[in-house]
Every structure is written in structure tokens, then in C-alpha cells.
Amino acid sequence: MPDPPPNPLEVALLKLTNLHASLGETVQSMAQKFDALLLRSPSSPSSSSPNPSTPYFPFVPASQHKMKLDISKFDGTDPYGWVFKINQYFQYHATPEHDRLTIVSFYMDGRALAWFQWMANNGQFTSCPAFVQALQTRFAPSHYDDPTGSLFKLQQTGTVAQYLSNFEDLANRIVGLPPQFLLSCFISGLSPDVRREVQARL
């Protein structure tokens, strides 16, 4: 019995996935070239008469050295993105649970800092998970918002890059939608000219 024909949405998704991977490799290659350029820069300490017998990057055991990561301060905007980054930060540094609230306090700014001070002074933070829940309750969009409905109705009104950013913001708030469905939804929201061009390439 012959195999069934491939699902066109799956084929399209595979092509987009391969394109995304190719772009990722290009960005990584550019980052490596930039790092190499910095090493050759006259202001770089490693470029001033290095000892040929000394490696540029001496081996440091992973347990003794961690890359310094900078987390932007939270000012009340993009709570989901900021919570994701701070959780990644804690996991990377294996931060003990009892230290996390203290660290978080250094990354509050503006109205978020005023809110944090009031909540902390009134004993509202019993743990880091309680803090995250309170932060999302205070700053995240209302539970009455319907990101799925907004995603279905999203239309490109500016550049493709702007549309993609809006699409990603909504898609990140939705769990469980199949990739094929997201792809179809994304294409349907493109402007007619762009949509025809994309469909012709799939």
C-alpha cells in the first residue's frame, strides 16, 4: 500500500524550521567573528604581546567559573519575558531558593520597585514562587484577556518584523497549540501580497 502524501503544513513547518536553524548558525558565526575581532583589538588585554606558550583562554573548571549574565531590571513591562529570564538566571547559577528573593530585589525598577517595596514591607512574599505569582497578578494582562482569540484575529498592518513580534508575544502566552496550526495562523494573518509570496515558496 503506497504511503500517504505528506501533510503540506508539516512540509512548510519543516522548511521554516530549517530556515530558522540556518539563521541561527549564521548569527552564531557572526558572533564568533565578532569575538575574534575583539581579541585582535588594540584595547583588548589579550592582544598585547601575548606569551606564545600561554593559551588565550586558560582552562578554568566549570565549578569555579560561571559566565557573568546581565538581567535587565523589571519596570512593569513584559512580565512573562522577565520571569523567564530570571528563572534561567537562577538555574544557570544554581541559586539557592532562600537567596532568590534578595537577588530579585536588585532587579526591580520604577513602578515595579515601588510595588515590590510595599509588598515586601507588608510580608506578602513568603517565597520566590509566591513573588512570581504576585508579579504576574499585578503586571501581566488580565485573565479576561483571550490571547488565543487575539492570535486568531491578528493581522499584519506594518512590517513583517512587527507582525512577527506581535505574533510571538501572543503565541508565548498559549500552551498546547500544534505547530502546524500556529504556522497556518501566522500565514493567514500576513498581508495578501506577502501571504501569496510565502505560500508560493512553501
Summarize pLDDT for 145-192 with one digit per residue, the tens.
Answer: 667 777 888 899 988 888 888 888 778 767 677 888 888 888 889 999
Backbone angles phi, psi at 92, to 5 degrees: -60, -40
Confidence of residue 108 (pLDDT cuts 50, 70, 90): very high
What radius of gyration, in Å, describes the C-alpha atoms of the chain?
23
Summarize pLDDT for 62-81 with one digit per residue, the tens.
Answer: 445 567 777 899 999 888 88
**pLDDT score of 100:** 94
Mean pLDDT value across the chain: 74
Give counts: helices (H), strands (E), the chain. Answer: 9, 0
Q: What is the pTM of this model?
A: 0.44
Q: Is the pLDDT of residue 34 over 70?
A: no
Q: Which is higher by pLDDT, 20 or 99?
A: 99
Give the other-Cβ count within 10 Å of 26's Cβ. Answer: 10
DSSP per-residue string spanning 134-146: HHHHHHSPPTT--
Q: Is the pLDDT of residue 135 over 60?
A: yes
Q: Is the pLDDT of residue 22 over 50?
A: yes
Residue 62: burial class (beta carbons within 10 Å; 0-12, 13-18, 19+)? exposed
**pLDDT score of 190:** 92
Report which of 29, 49, 3, 15 is spatially closest to residue 187, judged by C-alpha positions: 15
Q: Which is higher by pLDDT, 108 or 29?
A: 108
- 24-48 average pLDDT score: 50
Q: Which is higher by pLDDT, 22 or 113?
A: 113
